[in-house]
Structures are given as C-alpha cells and as structure tokens.
Amino acid sequence: MNFKEVFSQSFDAIRSNKIRSFLTLLALVIGVFSVLVSTTAVAVLDSYFTNTLSIMGSDVLTIQKSPAIQMGPRDASLRNRKNITFQNAEDLEERMRLAEGMSIEEGFSYTDVKYNDRETDPDIRIVGSNENYLENNAFEIEDGRNFTPEDIQYRRSFAILGKDIQTELFANEDPLQKIIRIDGKPYTVIGVLKSKGQIFGNSFDEFVMIPYTTAINVYGGNRSIGIQVRAPEITKIQETIDEVSGIMRVIRDVFPGEENDFEIVTNDSLTGTFDVFTTALYLGGAFIGFITLLGAGIGVMNIMLVSVTERTKEIGIRKAVGATRKAIVSQFLVEAILICQVGGLIGMILGIFAGNMMAVVIDTTPVIPLWSVLGSFFGMLLVGVIFGVYPAYKAAQLDPIESLRYE
C-alpha cells in the first residue's frame, strides 16, 4: 500500500466520523493555542523591549538610587540609601576621566505648558538637564540649538520642546524665540526635537527640557536624581563602570568592603533582567502547554481506540482480502498523525493571531515566533506517533476471523 492510498483512507475515516474528529481536534487546538498564544505574546514584549532599548545608546550608563527593576517587596536597605544629589553629579563630572557626557536625568514637574491662549494637558514632563542630555538619550535637534555650558552656568530661562509640544502649541508658526510659560514662569524656546515615538502608549516626545540649574531655582534641589554618562566606546563599558563606581563610592563615603549605596544601570543589565523574566514566562507557557497537550494526546489515544473497536469488522474484511499488519498499522498511525497536525495547524494560526493582539495594544510590530511554530509542528507529530502507536498496534493484532464475526 503506497502512502497516497494510506493518506486517502485516513482522511476518509476522519471525515466519516465528524463529531468524534471535531472533539479530538478541539482538544488539540486548545493545547497548541495555549502554547502559541503565550509564547507569541512574550515574544512581542521581548521584541518591543529590545527595540526600545536600541533607541538608547548602548554605551550609556545611568547612576541612580534604586535598581531599575525590582522583584518582590522593596528591601529596607534600599529605602535607607542617601539621595543622589546634584552635587554628586557635578563632583562626578569633575573627577571622571574615562567616562564622558555627564547629564542629569530628572523630571522636576508634571504640568501644563502655555503659549498665548493655547495650553497643553497638565501632564507634560518638565525635564531639567544640560547640553549632554540629548545625545545620551538619542534625541536629535530638528530646529534651533541645544543648550550650551553657559546656559547651564548662568541659569538661563531657555526651553527645548519635544515634538508633541511643538505640534500642540505651534502647529502653524515657528516656535523659536517664542515665550512659553511653565508653572507661571516664562521661558524662551531655543530648540525643537525630532520625533522619537512612544512606548506602551507613552510618548517620548511629550516633554520640555530646561537647564537643571534653572529648574533647581524654580522647583528646589532637595531630591534624588539620576546621572547619565557615556563610555568612550562600547568595548570600554566595563572600564567605565569601574571608574564611575570608584568615584561615586568616594563621593558618597562608602567604606571599603561595604556594598554600593547606588545602582549603575546599562542596557545590558536591563536586558539581562528582562531576559530572566521572559524566560520564566516562556517556561511557564511551555509547561502549561505540555500538560494540555498531554491531555489532548490521551484524548487522541482514547478516540483512536474507540475507532478501532467501531471498525473491527472493517479491519477483518481488509485482512481477509490481503491487507498486511504493516498496512493496518500505517493507516491508523497516519490517521492519528493527520488529525494531530490539522489540530496543531488550527491552534497555531489562532494562537499567533491572539498573541499578536498584544502588538496591537502596545502599538508595535507583530511577531511570529518561528521556533515555537516549529516546536509545535514537531510536537504534534510526536503526539500523533506516541499516542497513535498503541491503537494502531491493537488494530493490526486483531484476528481476521473474530473481526468478521464482530457486531
């Protein structure tokens, strides 16, 4: 018996028992769907996180009071850490030799921005920093200029607008040299930034930057800030971390042998933490999928055993006209594999579609996790073989005489 004939007979057997086949397919679809929907959703998040980090320079370090990502309850030692101050930042800039481009990372206020009779929503982030902030955060000037060291030193009331602010307040006119008001204070617009996009619906372009020295005068400087610096090149990241760590320990009076009372965060460290998180999600999804597919496989075996019983007389007739045991095994095994692959294909399509709803929600590119698709394909092939072997073997072992008498 050739493969084409075996396949045709298996397909006819599945089609002739629609309800039984549908119930078997349903269990298989749910199993594969549960695997694909979870892995696809996690793959979307993983891709989005990686793409977002790529917007930031991979050579940028951030010094801050607390870890960027914290699992579980916050440790008491973290709460008791001293603030990282503006003086710390200025001392670091003065002492560092390898690191370069120190900038302040601090949001001083969330408020509205006004120009004449136009006004934004009251949730615009007011960032206080210096001339290095734009390069450290991968922003580009579209029009106008960046801050100069003199602007910072003399605490000038200048402002650089994110693209969203320009669009909202200056849709039909040039914003440069115009006076905007923030919390009642006037600022002269000296620059506008190119658009950078958004993450999880939060725009990178919805902010106004002013000199941090000016911001201290207006909002006060008693706060914990973030400090950003750059490594001179990507291969010297670790050397830069070592230098910055040593300087900060001296500045903050951390004694030898004591742990740092600050964190140094890089893209790699964030990626490593996120990879641990996504790996746990992948493993959790795979385990749930394995349990579901195990149940589905048992269902396939049960249905195939029922099929053998129902088709006992048919098996007897086939043996009586010369069908070999190998041919009987082949037919039932192919039948089990075929129904598993059809269920797997439907589950894959539905799982990938449902998982990519996450991409729609966070407004990013859809992802098809090929490794998961291939794993599901070969997994269903394995399920079909493992759980189809025994029913096929039982069918092949039936006595043709007894089978012909079966009613």
Span 368-390, pLDDT tens digits: 888 778 877 887 888 888 877 77
Q: What are phi and psi of 143, to 5 degrees?
A: -150, 145
- Cα three-residue angle 212-216-219, rounded to 5 degrees: 120
Q: What is the pLDDT of residue 310?
A: 66
CA 236 to CA 195: how far, in whole Å? 30
DSSP per-residue letters across 2-32 = -HHHHHHHHHHHHHHSHHHHHHHHHHHHHHH
**Higher-scoring residue by pLDDT: 362, 194:** 194
Amino acid making up residue 396: A
Q: pLDDT, tens digit, for every residue of 324-372? A: 777 777 777 777 788 788 888 888 888 888 888 877 776 677 888 887 7
Position 133 pLDDT exceeds 70: yes
What single-letter amino acid sits at 104?
I
Per-residue confidence at 9, pLDDT binned at 50, 70, 90? Answer: low
- Cα-to-chain-centroid distance, residue 300: 35
**178 within 8 A of 170, measured Cβ to Cβ:** yes
Quick one: pLDDT at residue 392? 75
**183: helix, coil or strand?**
coil
Alpha helices in 56-181 (DSSP H): 76-79, 86-95, 133-136, 149-153, 163-169
Instruction: Using pLDDT thresholds of 50, 70 and 90, give the confidence band for residue 110.
Output: very high
Euclidean distance between CA atoms 264 and 266, whole angstroms: 7
Q: What is the pLDDT of residue 8?
A: 63
178 compared with 342, residue with greater pLDDT? 178
Question: What is the largest distance, in Å, between two alpha-carbon atoms of the chain?
Answer: 105
pLDDT at 201: 61
Residues contacting residue 183 through CB under 8 Å, at least 6 positions apart: 109, 111, 126, 218
**CB contact set of 398 (below 8 Å; sequence gap of 6+):** 308, 312, 315, 316, 319
Contact 169, 181 (CB under 8 A): no
Say if residues 129 and 103 touch (Cβ distance below 8 Å). Answer: yes
| pLDDT at 113 > cutoff 90 | yes
For the ranges 55-59, 132-136, 140-144, the lowest mean pLDDT is seen at 55-59
Which amino acid, residue 337? I
**The token pair that represents 76 in the structure block:** 């008491």
Residue 146 has a pLDDT of 96
pLDDT for res 142: 95
What are the residue boundaries of the structural domains of the chain, listed by start? 3-52+271-405, 59-104+228-265, 107-222
Mean pLDDT of 139-159: 95
The structure's pTM equals 0.64
pLDDT grade, residue 398 (50/70/90)?
Answer: low
Distance between CA 11 and CA 98 in Å, rounded?
A: 70
Q: Give 231-254 pLDDT, tens digit per residue.
A: 888 788 889 999 999 999 999 999
For Cα atoms 25, 26, 31, give the angle at the middle one, nearest 5 degrees.
95
| C-alpha distances out from residue 364 to 194, 197, 226, 264, 359, Å | 20, 11, 28, 29, 5
In the structure encoding, which two tokens stand for residue 216, read together? 């201290």
Dihedral sign from CA coordinates of 320, 323, 328, 331:
negative
> Cβ distance 395 to 308 under 8 Å?
yes
- Least confident among 55-64, 158-167, 221-230, 244-253: 55-64
Q: What is the pLDDT of residues 16-30, one digit of tens each?
A: 666 767 777 777 888
Q: What is the DSSP letter of 260?
A: P
pLDDT higher than threshold 60 for residue 3:
no
In 3-state terms the chain splits into helix, strand, coil percentages (rounded to 5) of: 55, 15, 25
Give the pLDDT confidence score for residue 52 in this predicted structure: 62
- Residues sharing a CB contact under 8 Å with residue 32, sequence separation 6 or more, in sequence order: 289, 293, 343, 344, 346, 347, 348, 351, 376, 379, 380
Q: Over 90: is that where the pLDDT of 175 sits?
A: yes
**Contacts (Cβ under 8 Å, ≥6 apart) of 330:** 1, 6, 392
94: confidence class by pLDDT, cuts 50, 70, 90: very high
What is the structure's pLDDT at 215?
A: 96
Grade residue 281 by pLDDT with cuts at 50, 70 and 90.
confident
| pLDDT at position 272 | 57
Per DSSP bridges, beta strands 179-182 and 263-265 are unpaired
pLDDT of residue 356: 85
Q: Is pLDDT of 102 > 90? A: yes
Look at residue 49 in the predicted model and tell me its pLDDT: 67
Residue 10: pLDDT above 60? no
